[in-house]
Amino acid sequence: MKKNNSTPLRRKLFFLILVSMLTLLVCISSVFMYLTVDVQTNGENTLSEFSNDMAAVYKENEKYAMVLETGNYTRLFALLCQQYFSDAPTQEQFLQECDTAYNAYLGLNHDYDEENDMLFVYYNDYFCCLNGHTREEVEERLDSIYFDERRQCEAGFTDENGVDWVKNNIFADSYIETDTGFITIAFTYPEDYPDCKHIKVGLIRQKNNKADIDLYSQRIVEEYGEKAWLEQEKVFRQEMLLLLAAVLTVTALSFLYTRNLSGYIADPIELERQRANQEKELLEKANAMKTTFLSNVSHELKTPLAAMSGYAQNAEQDLRSGSEPSLISEKLRRISSEANRMALMVSQVLDATRIEEDRMIFSSSECDTESILRETVETYFAVLNKNNNRLMIRFPMELPKVSADPALIQRVFVNLISNALKHTHNGTIVVKAEEQGDMLSITVKDTGCGISPEDMPHIWERYYKGKDSETGTGLGLFICKYIIELHGGKIWAESEPGKGTSFTFTLPVSR
C-alpha cells in the first residue's frame, strides 16, 4: 500500500523538476543569445570605424609615397643634367643637352609616363619641357600647385606665381589632391654644376589613381572583416556547444534525480534542500560560463581592433600636422603588429576548429627544423616580444632533417615561443635541439614565472588558461599537442614556479 501511494508523488515531482529545469534552460539560452547579439553588434561597429580609418591611412600612405617617388625621379634627372650640360650654352645647345640627358633618363627610369608627366628645365631665361608640353601649359600647372600650396600652408609665401616659386627657392616637394587622384611636384638643382643656382629641374606627375586606392582600401577592409566574422562565428559555435552541454546536463540530472526520489519521499524537507542545491549549482555554473565567455571575446576581439583604430587616427593627425615621417612610420608599424597579433589569434581559432572537425591538413616532407625556426623568429618575434626578452638559438651544425609538415611545425614554434614571451619579462628564451636515436628533440625554455602545480595537469586541455594568464584563447598548447602527436612525436612540459618553464617535443628523423 505504501508503494502505491508513493508512485503518483514520484510522477508529480518528476514533472515539477523537469519543468523547472526546462524553464531554467530557456532563461540561460535567452541570456546567451542576448550576449551574442551584443558582442556581434559591438564588433560590427568597431569594424566599421576601423574600415574608415584604414581607408584614410592607406590614402595618406599613397600620397606620401607618390611625393617621395617624384622627388627621387627629379633628383635623378638633375644628376644627369650636371653630367651633360656645358658651361654657358646657347639656346640650341641647351635644348640638345636637355634632349641628351632626357634620353639617358628614359633608359634609367622605366616608370616615366610621358603623357601625364611634365619634366622641365629652367636655365636663366631658357626653358625646355622634355615630353611635348608647352611652356604655357607647364607654367599654368605650376601656378595652380603653388597657389594651392600657399592656401594650405600657414607659412608666408612671397613669390608672385609658380614660376618665381621654382626659380627663387632651392627645392620643394608638394602635391594637389584632385577628384581623380593626386598631382605631385618636385624641383631641385644640379648641386655639382658650376652654374647650378641658375638651373632648376622639375617634375610634375599626375596619377588618376583614386579608384585604385578606394578598391585596395575596400579589399583590406574585406580581408579584416572576414577575419572578424570568422572569430564571431567561432564564438557563436562555442556558445551553441555550451547550450547543448547545458541541455544534456539538465536532462541527465533530471532523470538521475528522479531515480533517487524514492529515498527522499518520506522526508520532504530533505527533498526540497536537495532540489534547491541542484538549482543553485546550475545557476552558478551558467553564470561562470557567461563570465568566461564575455571576458575572452571582449578582450581578444576588441583590444587589437581598438589599438589599430587608435594608431590609425593618430597617424592621420600626424600627417595633417606635418609630423616627422618616423613617427608616422612607427604608428603604421604598430598597426601592422596588432594586425599580426590578431591574425595569430584567428589562426589558433581556425586550427582548433579544424581539429574539432577533423579537417587538419597534414602533408609530410623532409624539412629542416632550424630553417623553419629562423623563419618563424624573423616573422613573429618582434610582433610577440612585448616584454623586452632575448632569444637564443642553440642548434648543432649537422642536425638531421625531420619528416614533418613545415607549416604545422611552424605553428608549434609560434605557439610555444608566444607562450614563453607572454609569461617572461626581461628574460631569456632558449630554443635548442639534439638528436636522440630516431627522433629529434627540440626544447623551448624560458626564465619566466613558471606553471603552478595546480595548473600543470590541465595545460593541454582545450580553452584552459592558468590562473596567472590574463590573455590568450587557451588553445595554443592544445594545438601543439595535437600537431606533435599527429607527426608521431611526443610533447611534455617541466616547470618550477618562479624559475621558468621548458617545453620539449620530438619529431621523427627523416632517413
Is there a contact between 215 and 222 (Cβ–Cβ < 8 Å)? no
Compute the radius of gyration of the chain from its Cα atoms. Answer: 34
pLDDT digits (tens, 9 = 90+) for 448-504: 999 988 988 888 888 777 766 666 677 888 999 999 999 999 999 999 998 999 999
Q: Which of 212, 245, 277 is the endpoint of a domain?
A: 277
Q: Are residues 273 and 421 in the same domain?
A: no
Asked, for residue 312, whether it belongs to a domain, the answer is no
The mean-pLDDT minimum among 146-155, 266-275, 332-341, 482-491 falls in 266-275
Q: Are residues 264 and 376 in the same domain?
A: no
Assess whether pLDDT exceeds 60 at residue 333: yes
Asked, for residue 292, whether it belongs to a domain, the answer is no
Residue-averaged pLDDT of the chain:
79
Q: What is the mean pLDDT of residues 31-41?
A: 64
Query: Which set of grid coordinates corresponds to residue 127?
Result: 626653358
Query: CA distances (Å), 196 to each of 92, 128, 166, 489, in order?
Result: 19, 16, 14, 71
Of 13-17, 138-142, 319-323, give the range with the top mean pLDDT.
138-142
Asked, for residue 353, whether it belongs to a domain, the answer is no
Q: How confident is the model at residue 300 (pLDDT cuts 50, 70, 90)?
A: low
pLDDT of residue 131: 82
**492: CATH:** 3.30.565.10
pLDDT of residue 290: 42
Burial label, 35 (beta-carbon count in 10 A; 0-12, 13-18, 19+): middle
pLDDT of residue 14: 62
Kindly state the percentage of the chain with pLDDT values over 70.
72
C-alpha to C-alpha distance for 49 and 29, rounded to whole angstroms: 31
Query: CA distances (Å), 287 to each of 21, 157, 455, in order?
Result: 16, 67, 22
Q: Are residues 13 and 120 in the same domain?
A: yes
Number of domains into which the chain is organized: 2
Q: Are residues 104 and 237 in the same domain?
A: yes
Asked, for residue 336, whether it belongs to a domain, the answer is no
Residue found by looking up cell 624559475 in the block: 499
Q: Determine the structural domain holding residue 426 and report its residue range.
A: 365-508
Q: Which of 277, 303, 319 is the endpoint of a domain?
A: 277
pLDDT of residue 150: 78
pLDDT of residue 297: 44
Is there a contact between 466 and 477 (Cβ–Cβ < 8 Å)? no
Strand spans (E) along 397-438 = 402-404, 428-436
Q: Are residues 264 and 395 in the same domain?
A: no
Asked, for residue 126, whether it belongs to a domain, the answer is yes
Higher-confidence position of 113 and 485: 485
Query: Which set of grid coordinates corresponds to residue 169?
Result: 627657392
Determine how β-strand 172-177 pairs with β-strand 402-404.
unpaired
Q: How confident is the model at residue 195 (pLDDT cuts 50, 70, 90)?
A: low
pLDDT digits (tens, 9 = 90+) for 353-395: 788 888 888 888 999 999 999 998 988 888 788 889 999 999 9
Q: Are residues 13 and 126 in the same domain?
A: yes
DSSP bridge partners of 264: none
pLDDT of residue 370: 93
Asked, for residue 359, whether it belongs to a domain, the answer is no
Higher-confidence position of 126 and 288: 126
The mean-pLDDT minimum among 227-236, 248-257, 408-417, 449-458 falls in 248-257
Decide: helix, strand or coil at residue 368. Answer: coil
Asked, for residue 330, whether it belongs to a domain, the answer is no
Q: Are residues 415 and 271 in the same domain?
A: no
Assess whether pLDDT exceeds 70 at residue 421: yes
Q: Which of 234, 250, 277 is the endpoint of a domain?
A: 277
**pTM for the structure as a whole:** 0.42
Q: Are residues 55 and 153 in the same domain?
A: yes
Q: Are residues 391 and 256 in the same domain?
A: no
CB count in 10 Å sphere of residue 76? 16
pLDDT digits (tens, 9 = 90+) for 6-33: 456 556 656 666 676 667 667 766 766 6
pLDDT of residue 108: 86
Where is 25: in which H helix or E strand?
A: helix 2-84
Query: CA distances (Å), 200 to each of 95, 113, 156, 193, in order?
Result: 14, 21, 22, 11
Q: How confident is the model at residue 306 (pLDDT cuts 50, 70, 90)?
A: low
CB count in 10 Å sphere of residue 457? 9
Kindly state the percentage of the chain with pLDDT values over 90.
23
pLDDT of residue 294: 44
pLDDT digits (tens, 9 = 90+) for 102-112: 999 888 877 77
**Pick from 194, 237, 259: which is nearest to 10 by CA?**
259
Asked, for residue 282, whether it belongs to a domain, the answer is no
DSSP bridge partners of 88: none
Q: Are residues 61 and 202 in the same domain?
A: yes
Q: Are residues 370 and 246 in the same domain?
A: no
**Pick from 76, 63, 83: which is nearest to 108 by CA?**
76
Burial label, 280 (beta-carbon count in 10 A; 0-12, 13-18, 19+): exposed
Where is 239: in which H helix or E strand?
A: helix 210-259
Q: Are residues 82 and 194 in the same domain?
A: yes
